[in-house]
Amino acid sequence: MLQPENMDVVVRWRSREYRVEGARTLGELKRRVGELTGVDAKRQKLMGLPPKAVKGAADDSPLASLGLKPEHRLTMMGSPDSEHEELALAAETAKAAQAALIDDLDDVIDGVEVGIEHNPVYLAKIAARVSSYKPRMLAGARPGKKCLVLDVDYTLFDHRSPAESARELGRPYLHEFLAAAYAHYDLVVWSATSMSWIVLKMSELGLMDHPSFKLAMLFDAGAMIGVESAQYGLLNVKPLGVLWALFPDIYREANTIMLDDLGRNFLMNPRSGLKIRPCRGMTIAANRAADVELVGLSEYLELIRDDDDLSALDHRSWERTVRKRRAMGCSDGRIGGLGGAEAEGDAADDSGGRGDGSEGVGKAP
């Protein structure tokens, strides 16, 4: 059956639906979507496209030739131009302010080198965030539980690869990992993006209403602060001090661990961070089969769940810890199921994720 040259397509973005009428080519569709939403074509990530359209189709490709049908429904991720302009202006302002603060700091500390996490300027920034920032509360905190803080992009989600749906880009064993962790840890998501983007990703990945676990709360870029590092220069980081100050009776350094693929995000809380290997190329079967990072990390979280002070552990050696415990027969196997039949279908490089040359412990016991 021949498809019409011009098609009507429905695009969902930020909880609203936009109807694009009479689009003929992929490029025209993107242009028209940009006119309706303010999201430039180069920043649009369209989910729900047929495989032909996903794999490098040219903008002049007719929609009919790509497998789209009339009334085809898509979901889009992307930020409008206005937000990018605001972010660029804010970044320039923050950069200038940061330079001034660093100049002032030289006088305050009289030439004595201070660790970034103890720098009074950055501690003041954390205090400012605490007084003004409000996370998106979901299930909320559970007194008595430890806290697992999770990055999103490249930690839970491959946000660069083209795919028909967001779930194809989720890290293997993601749901099983979160379900196992939820028994002993509150799940806090913290991404260096906007809150609307985080909510959309969590929803598309099936994490907002999962029957086996609940997300406690969401933190976005608004909770981050700017710092200067000799190694990285000026950058924004995720200070766990904001979380600890907002929930002082529940969360603290001793019961919090953060997973992120960028080690620099731990600059303000170096004893609480665990650098995870980034997940990339999740639409390639071989990559999905090889990515068993969450299996080993699930075992590590189980092993340390009763430790009184997580900050006293060397999380850089988490794989060595798991191998040692396995060799000693200390693992009770409660999380070994992540590599079993229950998860088989899910598993169907800045690989320097650790920097210690270890071969990994991802294989399920």
Q: Mean pLDDT across the stretch 106-116?
A: 47
Backbone φ, ψ for residue 321 (5° rounding): -60, -45
Angle among Cα 36, 39, 40 to the nearest 5 degrees reads 110
Residue 293: what pLDDT?
Answer: 96
Burial zone of 283 (CB within 10 Å; 0-12 exposed, 13-18 middle, 19+ buried): middle
Q: How far is CA 97 from CA 39, 76, 90, 92, in A?
A: 29, 35, 10, 9
> Has domain 7-78 been given CATH number 3.60.20.10?
no
Per CATH, 7-78 and 114-347 having the same topology is answered no
13-47 per-position pLDDT tens digit: 877 899 999 898 999 999 999 999 888 888 888 88
State how far the Cα of 327 lies from the Cα of 100, in Å rounded to an integer: 53
Write out the CATH class of domain 114-347: alpha beta
Domain boundaries, the chain: 7-78, 114-347
Residue 52: what pLDDT?
Answer: 65
Residue 86: what pLDDT?
Answer: 59
Contact 338, 298 (CB under 8 A): yes
Mean pLDDT of the chain: 82
Angle among Cα 302, 269, 214 to the nearest 5 degrees reads 45
123-181 per-position pLDDT tens digit: 999 999 999 999 999 999 999 999 999 999 999 999 888 877 788 899 999 999 999 99
Q: How far is CA 156 from CA 28, 126, 177, 181, in A?
A: 32, 26, 10, 14
How many percent of the chain have pLDDT more than 70? 78
Close Cβ partners of 80 (under 8 Å, ≥ 6 residues apart):
37, 38, 39
Q: Mean pLDDT across the stretch 100-117?
A: 48
Residue 191: what pLDDT?
Answer: 96
Residue 129: what pLDDT?
Answer: 96
| DSSP E strand stretches across the chain | 7-13, 16-23, 45-47, 72-77, 136-137, 146-150, 185-190, 215-219, 225-229, 233-237, 256-260, 273-275
Residue 335: what pLDDT?
Answer: 36
State how far the Cα of 184 lies from the Cα of 305, in Å rounded to an integer: 7
Burial zone of 162 (CB within 10 Å; 0-12 exposed, 13-18 middle, 19+ buried): middle
248-273 per-position pLDDT tens digit: 999 999 999 999 999 999 999 999 99
Say if strands 185-190 and 146-150 run parallel, antiparallel, or are unpaired.
parallel
- Is residue 53 predicted with pLDDT exceeding 50? yes
Say if strands 146-150 and 256-260 run parallel, antiparallel, or are unpaired.
parallel
Residue positions counted in the chain: 365
State how far the Cα of 290 lies from the Cα of 276, in Å rounded to an integer: 15
Query: Which H or E run includes 87?
Result: helix 81-108
Q: What residue has token string 């490089």? A: 349
Q: How far is CA 171 from CA 147, 177, 251, 289, in A?
A: 20, 10, 27, 10
